[in-house]
Structure 1
Amino acid sequence: MPGAVYSGRGALRKIREITEGRFKKAALFTDRGVEQAGLLKIPLEILNEAGVETVVITDLPAEPNCDEAEQVMERFRRTGADFIVAAGGGSVMDVAKLASITADGSLTVRQLLEDPGLGRKCVPTLMIPTTAGTGSEATMNSIVAVPEKQLKVGIVNPEMIPDYVILDGSLLKNLPRKIAAATGVDAMAHAVECFTSNKANPFSNLFAKEAAKLIFDNIEAACEDPEAEEAKTNMLIAAFYAGAAISSSGTTAVHALSYPLGGKYHIPHGVSNAMLLLPVMRFNKSACLKEFAELYDTVVGKELQITDEEKADRLLKRMEEIIRRLEIPSSLSTFGIGTDALEELVNAGMDVKRLLNNNKREITHEDARRLYLEVMHG
């Protein structure tokens, strides 16, 4: 778990308490969208008040590959910063976490792909998510694309667990609905996948269930109402909880099959997970009836007069309603992907054994083929 977490209205003011008298120079990782939205104004003012010199690194690609991440690492090392602040979505935080374990220049990102355990934290980190979804602020994971494999790969190392996290709903006020929806459903996928994972345990279940409850109760308002600050803060907390569940349990076939969609076709991570979430969970239903029923009792309320199968069906129907209402693309054809890409997708998805092994129901090549066909036609 991260060392300290601050949430709620005004949580950004904690930056001064975290940094004053402790750090001399901060590298602020972000992207141009966050910068142009004016979200850096308050963090930069507070760092200045705390007497911390700040260098802003903005040229981070939306979904970086390992070589692009390496270029950012090199720029970061030249700053000589003794503290890292990441303000952005999952990609920004993932790159910042990699920077924290490569700051001494002894490792490259490609070396970490070969052996993630080599990394040791050199520089402390503060994560400030500006989307409610990836949960990167709570995890030991960093996801990068590997160009020659046309696949996204997770680098997992407990040294990357952030030292400080700030969850402030005010940062989500002007988040575009499309991004809020995709990242929110990504958080939903994390919660449901971790709860139904072969690695699920009492600790991960505690966080996954609470995340699911917060998401089902708040996602629509958080995406549709710019003024719904409480719902947005609840979604930030939910995404954090779901991230904590990932660190203790792990995602499953939804994420495994979505990695090639991001790696080759650059479909946003949240969108590819949202497209695959229902097909995979319907496929998993026979193996996850008890878990689905328990999640239904958590997010809707216990109903003694209906069976576990009915609860599972109602849970899946509610998930479908949310995804449809938020107007997330449901078909790969939207992105120009047709059946000619099928075998390549199947082979790449089936290579993600780390996550497929977590799936309660075994997935064969033929199963993966059917699941991809389902999302090709929407």
Structure 2
Amino acid sequence: MLDKYNLKMPKEVYSGVNSLDKMKDILKGKSKVVIFTDKGIANSGLLEIPLQYVKEAGVSYELLDDLKVEPSCDEVQEVVDRFKTTKAELIIAVGGGSVMDTAKLASVLFTNDYTVRDLLSDPSKAVKNIKTLMIPTTAGTGSEATPNSIVLVPEKQMKVGIVNDEMISDYVILDAVMIKKLPRKIAAATEIDALSHAIECYTSNKANPFSNMFALEALDLIMNNIEEACNNPEAMEAKNSMMIASFYAGVAIATSGTTAVHALSYPLGGKYHVPHGVSNAIMLMPVMRFNEPMCRELFAKAYDRVSRSNPSLTVEEKSKWMLNRLQEILVNLDIPTNLKEYNVPESDLDILVESGMEVQRLLVNNMRHVTHEDARALYLEVL
């Protein structure tokens, strides 16, 4: 656990029933905004909800709705170059992690002084030039709360994180109406991403009292609401809990950091295009079982927070319950737990290991040291 730590959060966060109504205040005094989204959001009709507030406020807007899912650094740069011509006064991001990550990069690239690729080499160059409003449409990535932006670097076939506090959002609106009609498959994958964030940050070498406060609350909310939120389109209370939990887990990322689950999942997305939430789900149990000897006491404390059932269990029994419950959630939500359907050949094992071991910025957070041999064994479990 860290001896010194700080809390990084967006400046204003709104949640609860009809929280999108707060857009009226945020838009006051603005003459033009740019809305970042993707075709899926636009075609689903979800965009119309926040867009109506923009229209009612009489604010001019431009729409960038062709953002790619899990884009490359060059695809992000192309969007940013178009954004620079808009002369907007506010960025509104309506979407999942890829949309919000692109919007955050745009907020620090409203200049010709550096590019996305420059920030890959030196994230410290980033300086915010325009304020951002994040309206997440999944309860998963927590991007609305973090200073991170993840982009694919094509020549490395690897997703890489650009991290700078300048990218923390100015405004966030967590309105469960934005995830009410989310397809179960997408809801499950993204919400498992939030679960991974929470438990990784809680068991990270960078964990601290601030991050634990948010990570444990996120774990509690997720593990007691995720199945209902995914399975029942009308379960608005559970969905609202998931929106808050995803945000809390994002705050935990900004204050602590993810570990080997995310580190080893990045090559799966970069090379084989496994969706981010799914790749985390695939690596979650192998890494948690690997970490259990070092994290047993922490898992037991998480049990006390999450289960509310039998406090007389031993530490070992509580830890085992947590791992069993995580596995149960994956099974109940029909999320892949191996790479068979993604046709990843065992002959690529060496490539996976080398790529995964490059993500040292996250591997150093893992409480149990991960060697090349450990990474090989973990990947073999899911091939």
Check whether TM > 0.5: yes
Mapped to 2, the partners of 1:262 and 1:348 lie a distance apart of: 11
Mapped to 2, the partners of 1:278 and 1:334 lie a distance apart of: 18
What is the letter of the counterpart of residue 58 of structure 1? D
Q: Does 1:48 find its partner at 2:55?
A: yes
Match of 1:18 among 18, 26, 30: 26
Match of 2:376 among 344, 366, 369: 369
Q: Matches of residues 188-207 of structure 1 in structure 2 within 5 Å?
A: 188-207=195-214
Q: Matches of residues 189-228 of structure 1 in structure 2 within 5 Å?
A: 189-228=196-235
Match of 1:8 among 4, 16, 19: 16
Cα shift at 1:166: 0.3
Mapped to 2, the partners of 1:48 and 1:123 lie a distance apart of: 21
What is the letter of the counterpart of residue 281 of structure 2? A
Mapped to 1, the partners of 2:357 and 2:349 lie a distance apart of: 12
Q: Matches of residues 30-179 of structure 1 in structure 2 within 5 Å?
A: 30-179=37-186
What is the letter of the counterpart of residue 106 of structure 1? D
Equivalent residue for 2:337?
Answer: 330
Mapped to 2, the partners of 1:267 and 1:325 lie a distance apart of: 20
Mapped to 2, the partners of 1:194 and 1:221 lie a distance apart of: 24
Q: What's the CA shift string for 1:208-230, capped at 9, x where partnerless?
A: 00000000111001101111111
Paired residue total = 375
SS at match of 2:224: helix
SS at match of 1:102: coil
8 A contact 1:94–1:136 mirrored in 2: yes
Equivalent residue for 2:192?
Answer: 185
Q: Does 1:240 find its partner at 2:237?
A: no
8 A contact 1:20–1:51 mirrored in 2: no
8 A contact 1:190–1:251 mirrored in 2: yes
Q: What's the CA shift string for 1:215-264, capped at 9, x where partnerless?
A: 01110011011111111111010000000000000000000000001111
SS at match of 1:79: coil
Mapped to 2, the partners of 1:71 and 1:131 lie a distance apart of: 25
Mapped to 2, the partners of 1:141 and 1:237 lie a distance apart of: 19
8 A contact 1:44–1:54 mirrored in 2: no
Cα shift at 1:51: 2.1
8 A contact 2:95–2:137 mirrored in 1: yes
Seen in structure 2, the aligned counterparts of structure 1 residues 304 and 220 have a Cα distance that, compared at 3 Å, is closer
Match of 1:350 among 343, 347, 357: 357
Cα shift at 1:331: 1.6
Cα shift at 1:79: 1.2
Mapped to 2, the partners of 1:75 and 1:374 lie a distance apart of: 44
What is the letter of the counterpart of residue 180 of structure 1? A
Cα shift at 1:302: 6.5
Q: What's the CA shift string for 1:85-143, capped at 9, x where partnerless?
A: 00000000000000000012221000000000100000000000000000000000000
Q: Does 1:293 find its partner at 2:315?
A: no
Match of 1:263 among 262, 266, 270: 270
What is the letter of the counterpart of residue 298 of structure 2? E
Match of 2:284 among 272, 277, 285: 277
Equivalent residue for 1:254?
Answer: 261
Cα shift at 1:368: 0.5
Mapped to 1, the partners of 2:27 and 2:248 lie a distance apart of: 25
Q: Structure 2 length as normaliser, TM-score?
A: 0.97
8 A contact 2:304–2:311 mirrored in 1: no
Superposed CA RMSD: 0.8
8 A contact 1:332–1:338 mirrored in 2: no
Mapped to 1, the partners of 2:35 and 2:312 lie a distance apart of: 54
SS at match of 1:227: coil
Q: Structure 1 length as normaliser, TM-score?
A: 0.98
Q: What's the CA shift string for 1:55-99, capped at 9, x where partnerless?
A: 110111101010011001001111111110000000000000000
8 A contact 1:152–1:260 mirrored in 2: yes
What is the letter of the counterpart of residue 322 of structure 1? I
Q: Matches of residues 283-322 of structure 1 in structure 2 within 5 Å?
A: 283-301=290-308, 303-322=310-329
What is the letter of the counterpart of residue 12 of structure 2? A
8 A contact 2:265–2:280 mirrored in 1: yes
SS at match of 2:173: strand
Mapped to 2, the partners of 1:128 and 1:356 lie a distance apart of: 30
SS at match of 2:285: helix
SS at match of 1:87: strand
